[in-house]
Every structure is written in C-alpha cells, then in structure tokens.
Structure 1
C-alpha cells in the first residue's frame, strides 16, 4: 500500500469513528495533510480542505472547540488550516487563537477584522507585536473600544501618521487620551498637542462642575503642561504632579468637600481625586494610598469621621474609591456593611487624634516609635 492509499485508509477509518476523540483526530489529520502537501495543492483544493475542516470543527460541541483552540493557540507547530478555522469561529472559541497564535498572518488577521465581530477585533488589538498594517485596519473600524484596546497595547506598532490622526480624534474621544499619553512611540510634537487637548478637556469639566475662577485654573493648567514639556526633554511627563498642581489651585479657590471628591471620582479623574483628598485631609504619600484603598476601609472611615463627612457620603466614597483602586471591581454588600460598622463605632474626637497622627511628618513619627521601642527593651547591665 503506497503513502496515498495509506492516507485515504486512515482518513476513512477516522471518519467512521463518531466519538469526540475520533472527530478531533480526523480534523487534525486533514489539517496536517494539507500542511504537508500545501505546495502540491491548487487554490481550489486548498479552499475545499478549508471548507471540510470548517464543517468538521462545527460538529464539535462548543466546550470541545474551546479546548482545542486553547491547546493549539500555544503550539507553533499546529496545523495552520485548523488554526485559521478556529480563529474564524465564534468569539468564545476564537479568543485564545487571536490573542496568542503566532501562525496567523497579517492578511488573515485583516480578513478577520473585516468579517468577524467587534469582539474578534478587540482580541486582535490586544495581540503582542501587531504590525502597522494590522493596526491601521483596526483604526479603520472607527470603533472607539477597538482603538482604545490598540492604544493600550504598548507592543503594537502604530505609524506616526495614524498616531497623529488619533491625537486629533482625542479632542472628541476622551478614552484615547490616557493611553496615548503613555505610549513611548508618541513623538514630542504629538505629545505636546495631546497635552493641550487633555488640558482643554479637563478645564471644561472642572469649570462645569466646580465654582472656580477660570484665570486661576488656566494658570495651573498652563504651568502644568509647560512643566510636562520640560519633562519630555528630561524623561517623560509627571501626571501625578499635574493632578497635585490642579488640586492646590482648586483648594485655594474653594473648600474641598466630600461632594467635590465624589463628583471627581464619578468623572473618572482618579489622580485628581487622590490629590484633592491629600489637600483636604493633609495625609501625604505613601500613607494616602493605604488610607484610601486599604482593605476593610477602616482608614477611610476614620478620616471621614474626623473631617465631618456624613455616613451617606462616606458610603458613596467607600464604594467609588474601592472601584477606582481595584481595576473597576465591584465591592460586596458585606464589605460596605463592615466599613459602616467601623464608621458607627468610632467617636469623632478619637478619629481626629488619629488623623492628626497621620498628618505628621513620617520621619518624626518613625523617630518617636524608635524611642518608645527602645524604652520598652530590657536594659543590659
């Protein structure tokens, strides 16, 4: 029996096996044969094999296809025809292949971008080391979620012309601004254009939400952007410093309140929220992060009691700050219940003493602690 007859015999035997394992083996064998003899196949024969594979795969139940896709996505020697078929499957199956498989060419990725769902497009946007050609096609979808995912993918290569276009679009689409600012391939000229766009948008939001004089705000924003221009020449922008400058400006114009913090968090301005909390409470880094986002919320409860915040505003701040500090994860009702019990049990006078200790210079507190510890140690002699 020659090789050709052996191949036909093995395929026939597998075709008669209706088990899940038999279906998987038949699919893999057809794909492997197409790979081994690809140079001998006409375009029509290649299309026919792809069609057979596609039909075979869709005989499998969804969990089996997902398992197959996950396994083959990590295998650089997997049959390409089978990988292509899985990449074009429904998203739950295609996702691992689109994210990880190195076997998909730019042409195949572009075809999927044009013919499959936006979920497929977002998965492609998150692939490592995307080419400029694929990035351009993703931007061509004009879908803001797809483009934001691409911008957040720092390994993706994006042409300067496309980055210039997206910088212009950032004037109207806020979600582009932060990932653009963080891209290392943004030229200095584009970075400066983007900083002015961000400053203008932030100015509009602050003036619409807070009672602050535009001149004072413009002074703070202009100074911040010019300082960022200096940072570009010396190693990159300091976004935390910009938020701190704005917070100081706002605190000079009006009293910081819980309502102001809540409004800032709801607008998604987390660095500004943190800087305003620091102005309001007098708690500096690194303790500020521990108070705002520490597990259980005890620190935030004590700070809010000391500052005269209502229980309702504390609960709102607790929930919003948990979301901001944990990647958008929701807080359970049990977490809120425990935090409000702490709030109910703590006296304001006691909370004010604790807050005052948190406001002190860390080096002074460390010296006091060291002295107290030395006093408690037994003397030698």
Structure 2
C-alpha cells in the first residue's frame, strides 16, 4: 500500500494543502522564467493553471504571486487580470510596480474593482489621458485629488473641465487643480466663484492675463467694424472683450447719474437693485454680472470691478459699506475680509482686472440664451454647447442661483 493510502483520513487535507502550496510556488517559478527558457505559449498555459489555483488560494499566497509577477516584463494576461481585481493588498504590488501593465489593464481594473484600487492606480507614475479620464469619471474626491497631485499624470481638457465642475461641490479639489498645467483661464475664472481666499489669489496671480497682444493684433479692425455699424454680433462680442476701454460711454449718456463715480456715491445711501444694474451698465457689464459681483461673499470681485473701471480706493470703500460688509473687527482691527479686498485691488493691474471682469461678463451674460437659461434652471448639461467655454462657465457659475 502506498504511503498516501496509508494516511489517516484527517491527515489528507493537510497533505493536499501542502502539495497545493508547493505546486503553486513551482508554477509561479515557471511563469517567471526568462524568455530564453520558456516561450509565450508555455507561459500562457502555465498562467491558465495558476488562475484556477489562485481562486482557492489563501490571501498571502495570492499576494506572493503578485509580488513575483510585478517585476516581469511579460506576464500572462489572464493571471494579471485576476490579480488586479483581487484584494487591494494583492493588487497593490502589480499596480505600483509592474511596468508591463497597459492602459487596457489599468482601465479594466478601475472599472471592475473598487475605490481602493482606483486610489492605487491614481498614485501610479506616468498615467495617460485615457486612464486618468476613467479614474476621474467616478467622482471620488480622494482619487481625483491623488490624480491631480501626480506630477507625471497627464489629463485631457475634457477631464480637467469635469474636475472644474466637480470642484463646485468639493472645494478641496480647487487647490490641487489650480496647480495643474492643463488648467486654462476659462476654468480658473469660473472656479474663482467658489474658491477660498488663497485659491482666489492664485487665480488672479496666475490667470489674470494681459490682452495687449490681442489688442495690438486687431487694432485696425475697430474702425472697420464701426464703419459697418457694429452690425455683426459675433465680431462685436469679440472686440468688446478685447478693447481697452472698460466703461460704457453710451450708457453714461443715458444714465440718470453723471458717471460711474456718481452712481457709486448714490449706492452709499443703499444698494438697491436699480443702482446695482446702473453700476453694471456704466461699468460695461450686464446687470446679471454686476449682481453676481455685489452678492459674492468673499468680496474680491468688487475690488476687481473697481480696478478694471478705474474707480478709486475711496469708491471701493463706498461700495463695501453699501454692501454692509465689515471694515473692523470687534477689537478694532482691520477686518480680514476688508484687508483681503484692499490687497486684491492693489495687486492687480488695470488691464488684467479687465480681462477677468470681461470674461465673467462674457460667460455670465453675453453667452446666455433662453435655451441656456432653461438648461441652467433644469440642471441639464446636455443642452449646452460642449465646445462653448462661456456656456459651460455660465452653467457652473449660475447653477447655485437657480437652486441647484
């Protein structure tokens, strides 16, 4: 009788478990052999055997196999797939170290596994645009933040725009997002409305760009468009964004006030809707833009409005008081909000302040159509033009005003 037949019944599972453990290790050794010792077909067959065994293997054995496979330049795909979808401790060595993983492998893991796996993938070096777009699509703040903080990860403009939208409800994403080289002024300007004080300062320092090159390149076109009576709405909107003059001369002629300073002085007696609209008209922006600026909790937009239109520090103080914002703390010190608003006024050049103000006006009013307003009210992003930066900005900046 063979020794195996002589085993007592309780000893059989123990012997089988030991043999299985050794077999698992030997098959792993075979899979890890260099290409000079094993061809691709032999490796694939061995990998198929390992897949079946790993389904019933203990966690520690599965983790060991993953660690053995991680340095390989070529590993059986079926084996990689099952290990990537295993417990995070099993998948981690492959996700973190295996250079042979393809975008398809990573995307499949991101879609089929759980949030801890996506967080591991987000920390992997050299992620491509297609992988990061899948990771960001789940809307998980910790995963998104890890992707944004990865200097080697590449993000598409579609992905960046998606994160800008998510940052409205997750302000913690604003700071890492502002450090991304892929972020464009259109995204930064609309993020400004829900950013904190430090992030707002970053937006103004990095994205408040000059329009000097634009102005020089189209200087001769103003006379041409004027000769046509400004009848082309597309050319008119673009040139209104580019031109140097901020105040609206036509509005000044029709205004019941002698000028913008007079309207601001009148606001000192009470900031009514009519005065806000008039200040907007005189400043060259629409009433909706002016109302958004005056209603902002942080106050920096008011400083931008004053600097862009040439209003003085005294005019800024008049508006601040008209908005019933504090200038002093109970201890008699300068209130932090008022101090920050004054710093904002001082730090910006007029041309750069105008760029920010005009982009807000462009996106918050000039791009608005009845269809877009309905889309904002309904929260239906499918109704906006996916290629229109102003429409996207308006959807995000005005959503809260319509109860979203």
Larger Rg: 2
- Between the two structures, name the one with larger relative contact order (CA 8 Å, sep ≥ 6): 2
TM-score class, shorter-chain normalisation, is 0.3 to 0.5
The alignment's TM-score, normalised by the length of structure 1, stands at: 0.44
More helix by share: 1
